[in-house]
């Protein structure tokens, strides 16, 4: 009703006055004013229809309209209309229904048309209001209820406010009470925790109390004995490094006696390892490759505890391998004195604190190391510097220096010994046994070895953890200020320590039990490790006979691994062990003896048999001592007089020493009772002991050998061979036949093939033949003054393009050999066909690195006719036997081979064989065979062989051309005359008793026949 659109005041005041002036207002205006009368509830003329209108409608109340227009409060009255009723609406209805009334009113009088619109709206308002009024009534009632509720709410809120004030006061009092309770509870809990912590500490430390008390007593005793222990430890670290285990113990025992005499106390049962190390550290060293024997552990202690830098005598490279593993995570730098970057590497290691390993040190040290070894440091401010050459370098104190040498018995000057700590890292037999056992188990029982290594690693880790837990606890206890209960972390540490310690101890116990089971299973294979250790140390000690016989541990381990791979595999463990041992023994024997001179082969084989039998228990140590020493320790003047003139003094002393062996305790009495029988046997030319007097006819092979060595030294060699055959097998009595092709197949790019020269035994021609057979280029350099340039050029050429390089007489170019070896080691890419052959005479300064990395062989004629024939027929092929169909061809070939063996075999008898020594060699045989081939090819079948010409060529030209003595020539002519004639095909033909020409055609049949010839030749 208050809408601007409906507001009646839109009717201007002059509009009403203008209407008054109208004599006859328009019809539409009159109708609108009638509606105003109705709305204002004014008097109204009686209703009648006015037909004069355009459309008949109610007649207007003109009189009343006029009064209305004259009413000054017309507009204000309209504004005050507030109530309408149904009657008014009903009266207005006919007017409202007039068609287009609003439009007509607008046209008639525009300003008054608004009143019509307002009237329509007010009717609509009334219609709507009829529906709204009940709602309003309800709203009114609701508002009334709301006002009542509001009043109640106001009262309730005032009451609530008063209540909340009281409640807040109570809550405040409650909070204060709760805070007091909480503080009390906190104090109570703290007291309980303090009590629990105290109980925990008491409980936890009670377990340590006994051990700590015992350890405290030990510490008290240690303090009392500290001076003596310190003297022994200092002396051990300072002086024992260069010596072996036995000598170290002797030195310690002597020092202890002297300290005891001075009344200086020291620990009972003093043990250097227990004094300076713990099980966890030793376990770590073992995992890093250090053997577990006492000597190796002592070496580790000296290397890591000494003030001086260590120099390791390490021919087997065990120490170097351990250092590499130990320092791997510390960025270890490895170099040599010959390295071009040597100085820069030293400076970098010192500056950055990197450990430095200088390997392959000789007997002289580089002067550049003097200040470093002597620790001549310059202190500048807070830093230290050392002079390296002409430069000063800052020292990082994490720098460590190690030096190693492959020399087994170096001769260092006193100055060198004073600068470094020399340590003998030569592997021990027990240490090598354990290492070989691990290799066997890794190959035969891989899962067992893997479990053992894992177990060892876990055990070491757990023991280290136990030690760290104990140290952490002690550090915690000693660093507490005030009461121990004031440090809550102490209980946590103690609980954690206790929990972890229990777990670790359980693991250690389980590990020890498992370790015991694994050890039992591993021990089954120990015979293989024992055999390997025996053989390796024998191979190493043969270098005492000749410097050139050097062998590296890596070479032996390669042979050991080969033995496990190639020996016959079988499920039965004992049989498998026997197969490995048999293969290993023969393989290492074959590998070693082909690189020995003939004079040393029997000795090596005999020592192998003796040492194996000693370990088996087949020979006692007292028997071995008599065999080696005989009566050398006895003085003839203080011994009983010998009873027989036919017995020489040496044999008599030997027999006296032999009588100490229980099997021969009555040997002197037996000799006296059976003098005639023993003398007859003694005077026999035969070396066979099977005809011993019956008193000793039941001796075993070794005791026969021992008896022969003592009473008849001239029979020692033959009996040694019999013993070797009985102990090792008949194949060990055969000298290995040189097979260069086999040696070449065993080699690789970085493995030189080294031929040891002897009189009349140069393998050059054999190498040339093999190179031609393999269609490989061979470059030969005869070493000597100025030949290094040519050797260097050919070496680079063969490395790059392939081929073989032969350095003849390498002992004449020792200066170049160092460079040669460095080049070989430094080169990483080789052409596959590249190989290096060397020939050399024995030389004490020959580089040990080359000797230890090379495959050695000798081309020396073997001893014995059988060995010589076997070697010769090892070079013959079946095609060669079938080369000529002449019936004389094969017999002549055998005869010239027999002659070749004889002329070489006679050399071992010195002047009794040849008045002048001659260098008969394979070339003489080849030339003779070639002449026989040509002669048979050109032979006239009617005239046959010209024996005179054949004998002349052999005795005067091929072999006789070397002979300068008349008597020697006469002997050679006699051989030719007796052995080269028509009688060669006779069934009765013999070179000597038991030596005839086999009637066979195949090569294998010749070899079988040769194998059946006597092992020992009659003179």
Asked if pLDDT for residue 93 goes beyond 90, the answer is no
Measured between alpha carbons, how far is residue 2 from residues 9, 39, 82 in Å? 11, 17, 11
CA distance 962 to 473: 88
CA distance 405 to 252: 26
Asked if pLDDT for residue 1 goes beyond 60, the answer is no
* pLDDT computed for residue 3 by the predictor: 44
Question: Quick one: residue 389, left, alpha or beta (phi over 0 = left, psi -120 to 50 = alpha)?
Answer: left
How many residues in total does the chain contain?
1019
Q: Give the tens place of pLDDT for each residue, 25-37.
A: 777 777 777 787 7
Mean pLDDT value across residues 55-59: 70
* pLDDT computed for residue 5 by the predictor: 42
Asked if pLDDT for residue 551 goes beyond 70, the answer is yes
Mean pLDDT value across residues 1000-1004: 89
Confidence of residue 23 (pLDDT cuts 50, 70, 90): low
Query: The tokens of 935 are what?
Result: 């002669």
Percent of the chain residues past pLDDT 90, beyond the cut: 35
Mean pLDDT value across residues 220-231: 84
Query: The tokens of 692 are what?
Result: 């011993």
| Among 312, 409, 417, CA closest to 358 | 312
Query: The tokens of 946 are what?
Result: 């010209």
CA distance 802 to 1002: 38
Query: The tokens of 110 are what?
Result: 């525009």
Residue ranges in 225-278 assigned as alpha helix (H) = 226-239, 245-261, 272-276
The answer to whether 544 and 565 are in contact (CB under 8 A) is: no
CA distance 704 to 693: 12
N-terminal to C-terminal alpha carbon distance within the chain = 162
Mean pLDDT value across residues 253-274: 89
* pLDDT computed for residue 932 by the predictor: 92
Asked if pLDDT for residue 16 goes beyond 70, the answer is no
Lookup result for tokens 């406010």: 161
Measured between alpha carbons, how far is residue 608 from residues 195, 437, 602, 612 in Å? 74, 20, 10, 6
**DSSP conformational letter for 317:** S
| Among 272, 265, 263, CA closest to 221 | 265
Mention every residue, 6+ apart, whose C-beta is less than 8 A from residue 388.
343, 346, 347, 350, 368, 371, 372
* pLDDT computed for residue 390 by the predictor: 83
* pLDDT computed for residue 134 by the predictor: 83
Lowest-confidence pick of 182-196, 431-445, 795-809, 982-996: 182-196
The answer to whether 70 and 20 are in contact (CB under 8 A) is: yes
* CA torsion through residues 249, 251, 256, 257, sign: positive
Asked if pLDDT for residue 727 goes beyond 90, the answer is yes
* CA torsion through residues 473, 477, 483, 487, sign: negative
Asked if pLDDT for residue 273 goes beyond 70, the answer is yes
Confidence of residue 311 (pLDDT cuts 50, 70, 90): very high
Lookup result for tokens 């190796």: 296
Burial 158-177 (b: 16+ CB within 10 A, else e): eeeeeeeeeeeeeeeeeeee
Task: Give strand pairing partners of 312.
Answer: 404, 423
CA distance 42 to 58: 16
Query: How far is C-alpha 641 from the geometric centre of its chain's CA atoms?
Result: 66
Query: How far is C-alpha 94 from the geometric centre of its chain's CA atoms?
Result: 119
Q: Give the tens place of pLDDT for each residue, 107-134.
A: 666 666 677 777 777 777 777 877 887 8
CA distance 843 to 379: 48
Mean pLDDT value across residues 350-370: 91
Query: The tokens of 406 are what?
Result: 């492959």
Burial 188-219 (b: 16+ CB within 10 A, else e): eeeeeeeeebeebbeebeeebeeeeeeeeeee
CA distance 547 to 398: 40
The answer to whether 44 and 61 are in contact (CB under 8 A) is: yes
* pLDDT computed for residue 787 by the predictor: 92
Confidence of residue 583 (pLDDT cuts 50, 70, 90): very high
Asked if pLDDT for residue 710 goes beyond 80, the answer is yes
* pLDDT computed for residue 68 by the predictor: 74
* pLDDT computed for residue 558 by the predictor: 94
3-state SS, residue 399: coil
* pLDDT computed for residue 100 by the predictor: 66
The vertex-52 CA angle with 48 and 54, nearest 5°, equals 110
Query: The tokens of 642 are what?
Result: 């010998």
Q: Which one has a higher pLDDT value, 376 or 78?
A: 376
* CA torsion through residues 104, 110, 112, 118, sign: positive
pTM over 0.75: no
Rounded to the nearest 5°, which phi and psi values hold at 388? -110, 105
Task: Give strand pairing partners of 386.
Answer: 377, 393
The answer to whether 335 and 345 are in contact (CB under 8 A) is: yes
Measured between alpha carbons, how far is residue 767 from residues 183, 278, 743, 753, 807 in Å? 100, 57, 11, 11, 12
Confidence of residue 270 (pLDDT cuts 50, 70, 90): confident
Asked if pLDDT for residue 99 goes beyond 80, the answer is no
Measured between alpha carbons, how far is residue 81 from residues 44, 67, 339 in Å? 18, 19, 125
* CA torsion through residues 882, 887, 889, 892, sign: positive
CA distance 219 to 878: 82
Confidence of residue 677 (pLDDT cuts 50, 70, 90): confident
Number of C-beta neighbours around residue 12 at 10 A: 13
Number of C-beta neighbours around residue 281 at 10 A: 18
* pLDDT computed for residue 6 by the predictor: 44
Query: For all residues of the chain together, what is the average pLDDT?
Result: 85
* pLDDT computed for residue 280 by the predictor: 80
CA distance 163 to 157: 9
CA distance 746 to 862: 22
Asked if pLDDT for residue 789 goes beyond 60, the answer is yes
Query: The tokens of 996 are what?
Result: 């005839």
3-state SS, residue 188: helix
Asked if pLDDT for residue 374 goes beyond 80, the answer is yes
Query: The tokens of 873 are what?
Result: 């027929």
3-state SS, residue 992: strand
* pLDDT computed for residue 233 by the predictor: 92
Task: Give strand pairing partners of 405.
Answer: 313
Mean pLDDT value across residues 348-352: 92
Q: Which one has a higher pLDDT value, 580 or 910?
A: 580
* pLDDT computed for residue 204 by the predictor: 62
Asked if pLDDT for residue 536 goes beyond 90, the answer is yes
CA distance 1016 to 717: 9
Query: The tokens of 33 are what?
Result: 């004013």
CA distance 870 to 863: 11
Measured between alpha carbons, how far is residue 62 from residues 20, 45, 74, 279 in Å? 11, 8, 16, 137
Q: Give the tens place of pLDDT for each residue, 823-840.
A: 998 888 899 999 999 999
Query: The tokens of 569 are what?
Result: 């595999």
Asked if pLDDT for residue 459 goes beyond 90, the answer is no
What dihedral do alpha carbons 976, 980, 986, 991 form, nearest 10°? Answer: 30
Confidence of residue 14 (pLDDT cuts 50, 70, 90): low
- Pairing state between β 377-380 and 383-388: antiparallel
Q: Give the tens place of pLDDT for each residue, 483-497.
A: 666 666 666 776 777
The answer to whether 424 and 241 are in contact (CB under 8 A) is: yes
Q: What is the CA radius of gyration of the chain?
A: 61
């Amino acid at each position: 009703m208050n809408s601007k659109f409906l507001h009646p005041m839109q009717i201007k005041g002059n509009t009403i006055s203008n209407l008054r002036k109208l004599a006859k207002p328009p019809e539409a205006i009159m109708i609108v004013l009638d509606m105003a009368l109705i709305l204002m509830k004014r008097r109204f003329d009686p209703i009648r229809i006015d037909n004069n209108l355009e459309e008949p409608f109610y007649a207007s109340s003109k009189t009343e309209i006029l009064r209305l227009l004259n009413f000054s409060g017309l507009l204000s009255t309209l504004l005050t209309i507030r109530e309408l009723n149904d009657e008014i609406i009903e009266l207005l209805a006919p007017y409202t229904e007039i068609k287009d009334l609003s439009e007509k009113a607008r046209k008639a009088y525009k300003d008054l048309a608004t009143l019509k619109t307002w009237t329509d709206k007010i009717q609509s308002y009334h219609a709507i209001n009829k529906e709204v009024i009940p709602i309003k009534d309800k709203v009114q009632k609701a508002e009334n209820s709301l006002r009542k509720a509001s009043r109640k709410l106001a009262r309730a809120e005032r009451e609530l406010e008063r209540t909340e004030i009281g409640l807040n006061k109570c809550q405040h009092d409650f909070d204060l009470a709760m805070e007091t309770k909480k503080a009390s509870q906190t104090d109570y809990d703290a007291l309980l925790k303090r009590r629990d912590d105290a109980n925990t500490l008491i409980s936890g430390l009670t377990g340590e109390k006994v051990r700590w008390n015992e350890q405290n007593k030990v510490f008290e005793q240690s303090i009392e004995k500290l001076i003596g222990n310190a003297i022994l430890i200092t002396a051990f670290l300072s002086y024992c490094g260069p010596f072996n285990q036995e000598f170290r113990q002797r030195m310690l025992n002597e020092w202890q006696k002297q300290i005891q005499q001075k009344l200086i106390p020291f620990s009972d049962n003093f043990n250097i390892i227990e004094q300076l190390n713990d099980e966890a550290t030793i376990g770590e060293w073992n995992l890093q490759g250090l053997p577990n024997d006492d000597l190796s552990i002592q070496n580790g202690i000296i290397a890591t505890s000494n003030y001086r830098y260590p120099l390791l005598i390490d021919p087997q490279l065990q120490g170097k391998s351990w250092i590499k593993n130990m320092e791997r995570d510390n960025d270890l730098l490895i170099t040599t004195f010959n390295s071009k970057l040597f100085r820069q590497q030293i400076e970098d290691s010192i500056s950055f604190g990197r450990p430095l390993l200088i390997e392959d040190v000789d007997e002289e040290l580089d002067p550049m190391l003097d200040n470093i070894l002597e620790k001549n440091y310059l202190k500048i401010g807070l830093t230290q510097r050392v002079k390296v050459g002409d430069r000063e370098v800052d020292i990082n104190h994490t720098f460590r220096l190690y030096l190693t040498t492959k020399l087994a018995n170096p001769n260092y000057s006193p100055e060198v010994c004073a600068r470094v700590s020399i340590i003998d890292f030569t592997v021990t037999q027990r240490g090598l046994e354990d290492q070989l056992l691990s290799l066997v188990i890794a190959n035969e029982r891989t899962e067992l070895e893997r479990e053992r290594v894992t177990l060892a690693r876990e055990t070491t880790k757990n023991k280290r953890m136990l030690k760290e837990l104990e140290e952490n606890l002690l550090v915690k206890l000693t660093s507490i200020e005030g009461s121990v209960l004031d440090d809550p972390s102490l209980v946590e540490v103690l609980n954690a320590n206790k929990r972890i310690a229990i777990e670790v101890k359980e693991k250690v116990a389980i590990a020890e039990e498992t370790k015991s089971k694994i050890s039992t299973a591993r021990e089954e294979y120990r015979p293989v490790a024992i055999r390997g250790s025996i053989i390796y140390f024998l191979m190493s000690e043969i270098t005492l006979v000749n410097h050139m016989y050097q062998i590296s541990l890596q070479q032996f381990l390669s042979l050991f691994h080969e033995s496990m791979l190639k020996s016959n595999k079988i499920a039965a463990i004992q049989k498998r062990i026997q197969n490995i041992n048999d293969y290993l023994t023969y393989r290492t024997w074959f590998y070693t003896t082909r690189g020995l001179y003939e004079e040393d082969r029997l000795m090596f084989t005999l020592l192998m048999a003796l040492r194996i039998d000693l370990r088996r228990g087949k020979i006692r140590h007292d028997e071995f001592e008599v065999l080696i020493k005989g009566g050398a320790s006895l003085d003839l003047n203080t011994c009983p007089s010998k009873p027989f003139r036919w017995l020489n003094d040496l044999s008599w002393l030997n027999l006296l020493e032999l009588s100490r062996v229980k099997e021969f305790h009555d040997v002197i009495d037996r000799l006296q009772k059976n003098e005639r029988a023993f003398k007859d046997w003694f005077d026999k030319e035969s070396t066979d002991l099977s005809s011993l007097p019956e008193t000793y006819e039941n001796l075993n092979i070794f005791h026969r050998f021992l008896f022969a060595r003592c009473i008849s030294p001239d029979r020692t060699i033959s009996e040694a061979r019999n013993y070797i055959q009985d102990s090792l097998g008949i194949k060990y009595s055969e000298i290995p036949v040189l097979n260069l092709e086999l040696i070449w197949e065993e080699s690789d790019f970085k493995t030189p093939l080294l031929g040891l020269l002897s009189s009349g035994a140069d393998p050059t021609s054999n190498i040339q033949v093999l190179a031609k057979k393999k269609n490989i280029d061979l470059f030969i350099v005869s070493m000597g003054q100025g030949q290094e340039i040519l050797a260097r050029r050919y070496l680079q050429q063969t490395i790059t393009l392939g081929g073989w390089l032969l350095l003849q007489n390498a002992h004449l170019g020792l200066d170049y050999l160092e460079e040669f070896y460095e080049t070989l080691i430094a080169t990483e890419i080789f052409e596959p066909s590249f190989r290096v052959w060397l020939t050399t005479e024995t030389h004490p300064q020959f580089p040990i690195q080359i000797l230890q990395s090379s495959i050695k062989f000798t081309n020396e004629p073997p001893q014995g006719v059988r060995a010589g024939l076997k070697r010769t027929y090892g070079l013959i092929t079946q095609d060669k036997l079938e080369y000529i169909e002449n019936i004389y061809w094969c017999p002549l070939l055998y005869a010239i081979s027999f002659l070749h063996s004889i002329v070489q075999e006679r050399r071992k008898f010195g002047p009794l064989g040849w008045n002048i020594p001659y260098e008969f060699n394979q070339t003489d045989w080849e030339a003779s065979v070639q002449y026989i081939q040509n002669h048979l090819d050109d032979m006239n079948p009617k005239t046959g062989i010209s024996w005179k010409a054949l004998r002349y060529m052999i005795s005067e030209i091929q072999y006789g051309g070397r002979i300068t003595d008349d008597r020697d020539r006469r002997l050679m002519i006699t051989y030719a005359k007796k052995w080269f004639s028509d009688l060669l095909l006779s069934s009765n033909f013999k070179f000597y008793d038991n030596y005839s020409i086999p009637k066979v055609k195949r090569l294998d049949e010749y070899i079988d026949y040769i194998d059946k010839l006597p092992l020992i030749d009659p003179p």
